[in-house]
Amino acid sequence: MKKILLLLGLGGIGYAFFNYFRNQYKLALDWDFKVKGVKVLYLDKKRTKLNLVISVLNKSIFELKVKNYDLDIFYEDVKIGNAKTSTPFTVNGVSWFDVPTVVDIEFSSAKGILDEFGINLLLQKPMYIDIKGDMNIEISNLKKKIIFNKKDILLTENLGKDLGISKPLSEINKFLDKLGIKI
């Protein structure tokens, strides 16, 4: 009887360890994203260049080695940027890591999003982006390719405030007039 209880106890402990590590592996493949910062690098009548810092959360307790990543950034289903690296780095368990991204938008090729972008800017509405791409990681010598298709990641609650142009409408009109945009 003692042997049966011992075997059942060891089997239960073994199953608990197996289940725990299986759940941690699932968490290692499930990532959260947030935009940590937005900074205007350049802005004129023809284009704008933004620097975004996208933070990615490793939810598992496992330390991961990110071999490379190639992520496309979309706003209103129009590709506005790309983040790419082939320099490996290590990510600690249950921690965020930053993915610097330069977004270069030529207004002539992004006409479909400018109306929505301008309205959200003027009305001080939240703006969201989508991220698509892939990342190659290594978890305890297990190699895995993660495919991303994350929708509605909050870019900013109020882009005008973040960029320092959250001012009365008359001042925004003057700013837009300098860019050749008439309202």
Q: Give the mean pLDDT of the chain.
A: 79
What does the alpha-carbon distance between residue 84 and residue 27 come to, in Å, rounded to a whole number? Answer: 23
What does the alpha-carbon distance between residue 25 and residue 139 come to, in Å, rounded to a whole number? Answer: 8
DSSP letter for 8, please. H
Check if the beta carbon of residue 140 is closer than 8 Å to that of residue 67: no
- What SS3 class is residue 171? helix
Neighbours of 127 (CB within 10 A): 19
- Choose among 35, 122, 29, 130: nearest CA to 74: 130
- Choose among 179, 156, 152, 177: nearest CA to 50: 156
pLDDT tens digits for range 143-154: 888 888 888 888
Per-residue model confidence (pLDDT) at position 89:
87
What does the alpha-carbon distance between residue 53 and residue 35 come to, in Å, rounded to a whole number? Answer: 6
- What SS3 class is residue 177? helix
Amino acid type, 20: Y
- pLDDT 10s per residue in the chain (183 long)? 777 877 777 777 877 777 777 777 777 667 787 888 778 787 777 777 888 888 888 888 888 888 998 888 888 888 888 888 888 988 888 888 888 877 777 777 766 677 777 777 777 788 888 989 998 988 878 888 888 888 888 877 777 676 666 556 666 667 667 666 665
How buried is residue 44: exposed, middle or buried, by Cβ count under 10 Å (0-12/13-18/19+)? exposed
Gyration radius from the chain CA atoms: 23
pLDDT tens digits for range 80-116: 888 888 889 888 888 888 888 777 777 777 666 777 7
How buried is residue 11: exposed, middle or buried, by Cβ count under 10 Å (0-12/13-18/19+)? exposed
